[in-house]
Amino acid sequence: MRVLVNGREGGALDPADRGLQYGDGLFETIAVQGGSPRFLDWHLERLAEGARRLGLRLPEIALLRAEIGSVCQEPQGVVKLILTRGTGGRGYRPRADAATSRIVSAWPWPDREPRAWTEGVRLGWCRTRLGRNPALAGIKHLNRLEQVLARAEWDDERMDEGLMRDEQDQVISATQANLFARIAGRWVTPALDQCGVSGVMRRAFRSWSGDMDDPVIERALPASDLAAATGLVLTNALIGAWPVREFAGRKLALESSVERFNAWLARQ
């Protein structure tokens, strides 16, 4: 792993950093394709929105772009950018003048079987729920224990991803991906005003599908509504879109538009 901590190569983190102490920060996981970070503008827009919501001082965007560029040394890979509220402050109280910490790291591209894209993946329910909190909904903050507990629920080959509901039985997302459900001939994606992360690939899929004259409906999605779904799709920044071939034991047809979306994505 190549890493820059506040611009310093191979740097280590101060154990007093509030990112560790409280999860007081944000992150972005960015695909690098053809040597360039994909959808970087959208990642930086979400980061800026997160910083605004948390009251975190946003570093100069040009500096972030330069640091991301400098760790991107392979044609294909992953860049993870973490911003935290740095050190200091008494207890939970943040310092108004806190200097934001930047941790920019490069990771190898994850190996996954190509058939996840061509034949689809198996999705099941997670038991772990997502707590509802509008103050934190949608942004990609560092408080991710719910996803960690959900992802720890299975370690076998029964399922490839797990679908999470909130405390009021609304479907929100998979542990590491957003969801689109084909219901009554339309794409529906869960509203993320109570919890969940508004993914960059979710934005890309919505935008693309809208351009294809098939606009996505964003709404609250009760778990019971999935019984009517004829197709499901998972999206995230690294995988693009995966069709779901089996959900909670039920076989699903693969939506042909997913293949077209991934083909479009490969040209970006």
- Cα torsion angle, 160, 107, 30, 105, sign: positive
Asked if residue 151 binds a second copy (CB under 8 A), the reply is: yes
What is the smallest separation between the CB atom of 238 and a second copy, expressed in angstroms? 9
Q: Which of residues 214-253 bind a second copy (CB under 8 A)?
A: none
Cα separation, 81 vs 74, in Å, equals 17
What is the smallest separation between the CB atom of 119 and a second copy, expressed in angstroms? 21
- x/- map, 25-64, a second copy, by CB under 8 A: --x--------------------------xx---------
* Residue number with CB closer to a second copy (148 or 248): 148
Among the listed residues 100, 170, 173, 176, the single contact to a second copy using CB under 8 A: 176
**126, 164 Cβ separation under 8 angstroms:** yes
Q: Return the number of other C-beta atoms located less than 10 Å from residue 231's C-beta.
A: 21
Neighbouring residues of 90: CB distance < 8 A, sequence distance ≥ 6: none
CA distances from 167 to 50, 121, 177, 253 (A): 23, 26, 19, 29
Asked if residue 97 binds a second copy (CB under 8 A), the reply is: no
* Single-letter amino acid code for the residue at 6: N
Span between the terminal Cα atoms of the chain, in Å: 26
**Of the ranges 18-26, 184-192, 199-207, 254-262, which one interacts with a second copy (CB under 8 A)?**
18-26
Q: Enumerate binding residues for a second copy (CB under 8 A).
A: 1, 3, 5, 11-24, 27, 54-55, 82, 84-85, 90-94, 96, 103, 105, 110, 128-136, 141-152, 155, 167, 175-176, 195
